Amino acid sequence: MKSSKSARPSSKVTLGMVAEASGVSPSTVSRILNGTAVVSQEKKDAVDRAIAELGFVPNPIARVLAGGRSLSVGVVTQAIDSPYYGVALRGIEEVLDAAGFVPLFASGHWNAKEEQRCIDTLRSRRVDGIIVLTGRLSDESLRKLAKELPVVVTGRTLKAPSLHALNFNDFEGARLATHHLLTLGHRKIAFIAGDPVHPDAQERLKGYRAALEAAGVKYKPALVLPGLFHEDSGVMAAERLIDSREPFTAIFAANDQMAFGASLALYRRGLRVPEDVSIVGFDDLAGAAHAIPPLTTIHQAGLELGRCAAQALLELLADKTPTTQLPEPRLIIRSSTRAL
Protein backbone atom coordinates (compact mmCIF):
# COMPACT_ATOMS: atom_id res chain seq x y z
CA MET A 1 0.00 0.00 0.00
CA LYS A 2 1.38 3.37 -1.05
CA SER A 3 1.77 6.13 1.53
CA SER A 4 -0.07 9.42 1.21
CA LYS A 5 1.71 12.20 -0.70
CA SER A 6 1.00 14.60 2.19
CA ALA A 7 2.87 12.46 4.68
CA ARG A 8 6.21 13.97 5.79
CA PRO A 9 9.14 11.75 4.83
CA SER A 10 11.04 10.23 7.70
CA SER A 11 14.27 12.28 7.87
CA LYS A 12 16.32 14.16 10.40
CA VAL A 13 15.49 17.85 10.69
CA THR A 14 18.64 19.90 10.15
CA LEU A 15 19.65 23.43 11.05
CA GLY A 16 19.60 24.25 7.32
CA MET A 17 15.96 23.20 7.08
CA VAL A 18 15.11 25.52 9.99
CA ALA A 19 16.97 28.36 8.26
CA GLU A 20 15.08 27.80 4.98
CA ALA A 21 11.70 27.65 6.76
CA SER A 22 12.34 30.83 8.75
CA GLY A 23 13.90 32.83 5.92
CA VAL A 24 17.28 33.45 7.57
CA SER A 25 20.78 32.05 7.13
CA PRO A 26 21.98 28.91 8.95
CA SER A 27 24.58 31.00 10.80
CA THR A 28 21.82 33.29 12.10
CA VAL A 29 19.85 30.29 13.37
CA SER A 30 23.02 29.03 15.09
CA ARG A 31 23.65 32.39 16.79
CA ILE A 32 20.03 32.62 17.93
CA LEU A 33 20.26 29.15 19.46
CA ASN A 34 23.54 30.08 21.19
CA GLY A 35 22.10 33.31 22.54
CA THR A 36 24.73 35.42 20.74
CA ALA A 37 22.64 36.81 17.84
CA VAL A 38 21.91 40.53 17.52
CA VAL A 39 18.78 40.34 15.37
CA SER A 40 15.23 41.61 15.44
CA GLN A 41 12.57 39.97 17.58
CA GLU A 42 10.71 39.22 14.34
CA LYS A 43 13.55 36.99 13.13
CA LYS A 44 13.84 35.27 16.52
CA ASP A 45 10.08 34.55 16.46
CA ALA A 46 10.35 33.16 12.92
CA VAL A 47 13.13 30.79 13.96
CA ASP A 48 11.17 29.70 17.07
CA ARG A 49 8.11 28.93 14.88
CA ALA A 50 10.19 26.94 12.41
CA ILE A 51 11.81 24.93 15.21
CA ALA A 52 8.39 24.14 16.69
CA GLU A 53 6.79 23.21 13.36
CA LEU A 54 9.70 21.04 12.19
CA GLY A 55 10.42 19.47 15.57
CA PHE A 56 14.09 20.47 15.40
CA VAL A 57 16.24 19.37 18.37
CA PRO A 58 19.58 21.24 18.64
CA ASN A 59 22.71 19.12 19.06
CA PRO A 60 24.41 20.42 22.23
CA ILE A 61 27.79 18.92 21.31
CA ALA A 62 27.74 20.52 17.88
CA ARG A 63 26.73 23.81 19.48
CA VAL A 64 29.75 23.74 21.81
CA LEU A 65 32.14 22.77 19.01
CA ALA A 66 30.82 25.73 17.02
CA GLY A 67 31.97 28.02 19.83
CA GLY A 68 28.61 28.52 21.48
CA ARG A 69 27.29 27.66 24.91
CA SER A 70 26.03 24.27 26.00
CA LEU A 71 23.33 25.99 28.09
CA SER A 72 24.16 23.59 30.91
CA VAL A 73 25.52 24.27 34.40
CA GLY A 74 27.37 21.79 36.59
CA VAL A 75 26.29 21.56 40.22
CA VAL A 76 28.44 19.79 42.79
CA THR A 77 26.35 19.06 45.86
CA GLN A 78 27.37 16.88 48.80
CA ALA A 79 24.37 14.57 49.14
CA ILE A 80 21.42 14.70 46.77
CA ASP A 81 19.22 13.09 49.44
CA SER A 82 20.04 15.78 52.04
CA PRO A 83 16.88 17.54 53.30
CA TYR A 84 18.74 20.87 53.17
CA TYR A 85 20.75 20.55 49.96
CA GLY A 86 17.89 18.81 48.18
CA VAL A 87 15.80 21.97 48.55
CA ALA A 88 18.78 24.06 47.40
CA LEU A 89 18.98 21.98 44.22
CA ARG A 90 15.34 22.74 43.55
CA GLY A 91 16.09 26.46 43.86
CA ILE A 92 19.00 26.14 41.41
CA GLU A 93 16.87 24.22 38.92
CA GLU A 94 14.05 26.76 39.21
CA VAL A 95 16.23 29.76 38.31
CA LEU A 96 18.33 28.04 35.64
CA ASP A 97 15.26 26.57 33.92
CA ALA A 98 13.66 30.01 33.65
CA ALA A 99 16.86 31.24 31.94
CA GLY A 100 16.99 28.32 29.49
CA PHE A 101 19.81 26.43 31.22
CA VAL A 102 19.88 22.80 32.34
CA PRO A 103 21.62 21.79 35.61
CA LEU A 104 23.77 18.65 35.76
CA PHE A 105 24.01 17.37 39.35
CA ALA A 106 26.84 15.38 40.97
CA SER A 107 27.49 14.45 44.62
CA GLY A 108 30.88 14.96 46.26
CA HIS A 109 30.02 13.25 49.58
CA TRP A 110 32.18 15.67 51.60
CA ASN A 111 35.32 14.29 49.99
CA ALA A 112 37.74 16.62 48.18
CA LYS A 113 38.93 13.94 45.74
CA GLU A 114 35.36 12.96 44.92
CA GLU A 115 34.40 16.60 44.42
CA GLN A 116 37.32 17.08 42.03
CA ARG A 117 36.24 13.97 40.12
CA CYS A 118 32.73 15.47 39.83
CA ILE A 119 34.16 18.73 38.49
CA ASP A 120 36.33 16.91 35.95
CA THR A 121 33.29 14.95 34.76
CA LEU A 122 31.14 18.06 34.48
CA ARG A 123 33.86 19.92 32.57
CA SER A 124 34.08 17.02 30.13
CA ARG A 125 30.39 17.67 29.43
CA ARG A 126 31.34 21.25 28.45
CA VAL A 127 29.20 22.98 31.08
CA ASP A 128 29.15 26.79 30.90
CA GLY A 129 29.78 27.25 34.63
CA ILE A 130 29.88 25.38 37.94
CA ILE A 131 28.13 25.81 41.28
CA VAL A 132 29.80 24.14 44.27
CA LEU A 133 27.61 23.72 47.35
CA THR A 134 30.04 23.99 50.27
CA GLY A 135 32.32 20.94 50.16
CA ARG A 136 35.98 20.41 51.00
CA LEU A 137 37.81 21.56 47.91
CA SER A 138 40.59 24.00 48.79
CA ASP A 139 40.21 27.70 48.08
CA GLU A 140 43.18 27.45 45.73
CA SER A 141 41.46 24.67 43.72
CA LEU A 142 38.38 26.85 43.29
CA ARG A 143 40.45 29.88 42.26
CA LYS A 144 42.20 27.73 39.67
CA LEU A 145 38.87 26.40 38.37
CA ALA A 146 37.53 29.97 38.06
CA LYS A 147 40.33 30.74 35.57
CA GLU A 148 38.70 28.22 33.23
CA LEU A 149 34.98 28.98 33.68
CA PRO A 150 32.64 30.93 36.02
CA VAL A 151 32.26 29.48 39.52
CA VAL A 152 29.85 30.11 42.39
CA VAL A 153 30.66 28.51 45.74
CA THR A 154 28.63 28.51 48.94
CA GLY A 155 29.66 28.12 52.56
CA ARG A 156 32.86 30.17 52.47
CA THR A 157 34.26 33.66 52.01
CA LEU A 158 36.44 33.77 48.92
CA LYS A 159 37.32 36.36 46.26
CA ALA A 160 38.74 35.78 42.79
CA PRO A 161 38.00 36.81 39.19
CA SER A 162 35.02 34.92 37.70
CA LEU A 163 34.20 33.53 41.15
CA HIS A 164 31.41 34.51 43.54
CA ALA A 165 31.09 33.19 47.10
CA LEU A 166 27.90 33.03 49.16
CA ASN A 167 28.37 32.59 52.89
CA PHE A 168 25.62 32.38 55.49
CA ASN A 169 26.23 34.11 58.84
CA ASP A 170 26.38 30.92 60.91
CA PHE A 171 27.98 32.72 63.85
CA GLU A 172 25.08 35.16 64.18
CA GLY A 173 22.50 32.40 63.73
CA ALA A 174 24.00 30.39 66.59
CA ARG A 175 24.28 33.49 68.73
CA LEU A 176 20.58 34.24 68.15
CA ALA A 177 19.55 30.67 69.04
CA THR A 178 21.55 30.64 72.27
CA HIS A 179 20.45 34.16 73.18
CA HIS A 180 16.81 33.09 72.82
CA LEU A 181 17.30 30.32 75.38
CA LEU A 182 19.15 32.70 77.69
CA THR A 183 16.30 35.23 77.58
CA LEU A 184 13.94 32.43 78.62
CA GLY A 185 16.00 31.99 81.77
CA HIS A 186 18.05 28.95 80.73
CA ARG A 187 21.64 28.86 81.93
CA LYS A 188 22.48 25.16 81.57
CA ILE A 189 22.34 25.01 77.78
CA ALA A 190 23.79 21.98 76.04
CA PHE A 191 25.11 22.27 72.49
CA ILE A 192 25.15 19.43 69.94
CA ALA A 193 27.91 20.45 67.55
CA GLY A 194 28.30 19.57 63.88
CA ASP A 195 31.25 17.88 62.20
CA PRO A 196 34.23 20.05 63.27
CA VAL A 197 35.86 19.88 59.83
CA HIS A 198 32.95 21.93 58.45
CA PRO A 199 33.47 25.72 58.67
CA ASP A 200 29.76 26.26 59.43
CA ALA A 201 30.01 23.88 62.43
CA GLN A 202 32.97 25.84 63.75
CA GLU A 203 31.13 29.16 63.37
CA ARG A 204 28.02 27.85 65.13
CA LEU A 205 30.11 26.72 68.11
CA LYS A 206 31.70 30.17 68.24
CA GLY A 207 28.27 31.81 68.17
CA TYR A 208 27.05 29.60 71.02
CA ARG A 209 30.10 30.47 73.13
CA ALA A 210 29.84 34.19 72.35
CA ALA A 211 26.21 34.33 73.53
CA LEU A 212 27.11 32.57 76.78
CA GLU A 213 30.01 34.91 77.38
CA ALA A 214 27.90 38.01 76.70
CA ALA A 215 25.36 36.79 79.29
CA GLY A 216 28.05 36.04 81.87
CA VAL A 217 27.39 32.29 81.72
CA LYS A 218 30.48 30.10 82.07
CA TYR A 219 31.24 27.83 79.13
CA LYS A 220 31.21 24.16 80.19
CA PRO A 221 32.86 21.67 77.81
CA ALA A 222 30.78 18.89 79.42
CA LEU A 223 27.68 20.46 77.85
CA VAL A 224 29.09 20.33 74.32
CA LEU A 225 28.45 17.03 72.52
CA PRO A 226 29.88 15.98 69.14
CA GLY A 227 27.47 15.44 66.27
CA LEU A 228 27.60 14.74 62.53
CA PHE A 229 24.64 16.76 61.21
CA HIS A 230 22.30 13.76 60.88
CA GLU A 231 19.47 12.45 63.07
CA ASP A 232 21.27 9.43 64.51
CA SER A 233 24.10 11.60 65.78
CA GLY A 234 21.52 13.79 67.52
CA VAL A 235 20.05 10.73 69.23
CA MET A 236 23.47 9.53 70.38
CA ALA A 237 24.53 12.98 71.60
CA ALA A 238 21.37 13.45 73.67
CA GLU A 239 21.67 9.97 75.16
CA ARG A 240 25.30 10.66 76.06
CA LEU A 241 24.26 13.92 77.68
CA ILE A 242 21.53 12.28 79.77
CA ASP A 243 23.83 9.45 80.83
CA SER A 244 26.52 11.93 81.92
CA ARG A 245 24.13 13.28 84.58
CA GLU A 246 25.38 16.78 83.78
CA PRO A 247 22.40 19.07 84.61
CA PHE A 248 20.81 20.82 81.61
CA THR A 249 17.50 22.51 80.87
CA ALA A 250 17.89 23.23 77.15
CA ILE A 251 19.59 21.89 74.02
CA PHE A 252 20.74 23.88 71.01
CA ALA A 253 21.47 21.54 68.11
CA ALA A 254 23.65 22.79 65.23
CA ASN A 255 21.02 21.68 62.70
CA ASP A 256 17.39 20.58 62.64
CA GLN A 257 18.18 16.97 61.83
CA MET A 258 20.18 16.58 65.06
CA ALA A 259 17.43 18.45 66.94
CA PHE A 260 14.92 15.87 65.66
CA GLY A 261 17.20 13.08 66.86
CA ALA A 262 17.70 14.72 70.27
CA SER A 263 13.93 15.07 70.69
CA LEU A 264 13.50 11.36 70.01
CA ALA A 265 16.16 10.48 72.60
CA LEU A 266 14.44 12.67 75.21
CA TYR A 267 11.09 11.04 74.42
CA ARG A 268 12.58 7.57 74.88
CA ARG A 269 13.94 8.63 78.28
CA GLY A 270 10.60 10.03 79.43
CA LEU A 271 11.56 13.71 79.10
CA ARG A 272 9.09 16.12 77.56
CA VAL A 273 9.77 18.98 75.14
CA PRO A 274 9.48 21.78 76.17
CA GLU A 275 8.12 21.02 79.66
CA ASP A 276 11.35 19.33 80.81
CA VAL A 277 13.84 20.39 78.15
CA SER A 278 13.69 23.21 75.58
CA ILE A 279 15.18 22.53 72.13
CA VAL A 280 16.35 24.85 69.34
CA GLY A 281 17.52 23.72 65.90
CA PHE A 282 19.18 25.39 62.91
CA ASP A 283 18.12 25.48 59.21
CA ASP A 284 14.30 25.61 59.44
CA LEU A 285 13.76 22.51 57.32
CA ALA A 286 10.26 21.87 56.03
CA GLY A 287 9.74 19.25 58.76
CA ALA A 288 10.55 21.69 61.57
CA ALA A 289 7.10 23.30 61.45
CA HIS A 290 5.44 19.86 61.55
CA ALA A 291 7.50 18.28 64.33
CA ILE A 292 5.80 17.48 67.66
CA PRO A 293 6.08 20.02 69.13
CA PRO A 294 6.92 22.38 66.25
CA LEU A 295 10.62 23.20 66.43
CA THR A 296 12.04 26.61 67.30
CA THR A 297 14.94 27.11 64.89
CA ILE A 298 17.14 29.47 62.91
CA HIS A 299 15.84 30.13 59.41
CA GLN A 300 18.42 29.37 56.73
CA ALA A 301 16.47 28.89 53.54
CA GLY A 302 17.94 26.16 51.34
CA LEU A 303 15.62 27.20 48.51
CA GLU A 304 16.89 30.77 48.72
CA LEU A 305 20.50 29.53 48.78
CA GLY A 306 19.93 27.63 45.54
CA ARG A 307 18.19 30.55 43.88
CA CYS A 308 20.94 32.99 44.90
CA ALA A 309 23.69 30.64 43.68
CA ALA A 310 22.02 30.16 40.29
CA GLN A 311 21.31 33.87 39.88
CA ALA A 312 24.93 34.73 40.71
CA LEU A 313 26.19 32.27 38.10
CA LEU A 314 23.87 33.72 35.44
CA GLU A 315 25.27 37.16 36.24
CA LEU A 316 28.84 35.85 35.84
CA LEU A 317 27.89 34.28 32.50
CA ALA A 318 26.55 37.68 31.41
CA ASP A 319 29.91 39.27 32.33
CA LYS A 320 28.35 41.08 35.27
CA THR A 321 29.64 41.35 38.82
CA PRO A 322 27.18 39.46 41.05
CA THR A 323 25.69 41.42 43.93
CA THR A 324 23.56 38.56 45.24
CA GLN A 325 24.03 37.83 48.94
CA LEU A 326 22.24 35.55 51.38
CA PRO A 327 19.77 37.08 53.85
CA GLU A 328 20.71 37.36 57.52
CA PRO A 329 19.59 34.54 59.88
CA ARG A 330 16.19 34.81 61.56
CA LEU A 331 14.96 33.16 64.74
CA ILE A 332 11.70 31.27 64.19
CA ILE A 333 10.01 30.77 67.57
CA ARG A 334 7.66 27.79 67.75
CA SER A 335 6.61 25.46 70.54
CA SER A 336 9.79 23.57 71.47
CA THR A 337 11.07 26.27 73.85
CA ARG A 338 9.58 27.81 76.98
CA ALA A 339 10.62 30.04 79.87
CA LEU A 340 11.86 28.39 83.04
Q: What is the mean pLDDT of residues 158-163?
A: 95
Q: Are residues 37 and 158 in the same domain?
A: no
Each residue of 106-159: pLDDT tens digit? 999 999 999 999 999 999 999 999 999 999 999 999 999 999 999 999 999 999
Residue 36 pLDDT exceeds 80: no
**Residue percentage of the chain with pLDDT more than 90:** 75
Residue 59 pLDDT exceeds 70: no
Instruction: Quote the number of domains for the chain.
Output: 3
Instruction: Read off the pLDDT band of 5 (50, 70, 90).
Output: very low
What pLDDT score was predicted for residue 2? 42
Distance CA 231, CA 229 (A): 7
Q: Are residues 206 and 269 in the same domain?
A: yes
What pLDDT score was predicted for residue 278? 98
Residue 146 belongs to some domain of the structure: yes
Q: Are residues 178 and 290 in the same domain?
A: yes
What pLDDT score was predicted for residue 179? 98
Residue 275 belongs to some domain of the structure: yes
Instruction: Read off the pLDDT band of 6 (50, 70, 90).
Output: very low
- 340 in helix, strand or coil? coil
CA dihedral 258, 260, 264, 265 (to 10 degrees): 20
What pLDDT score was predicted for residue 67? 52
Q: Are residues 163 and 306 in the same domain?
A: yes
Look at residues 210, 216, 224 and name the one whose alpha carbon lies nearest to residue 187.
216
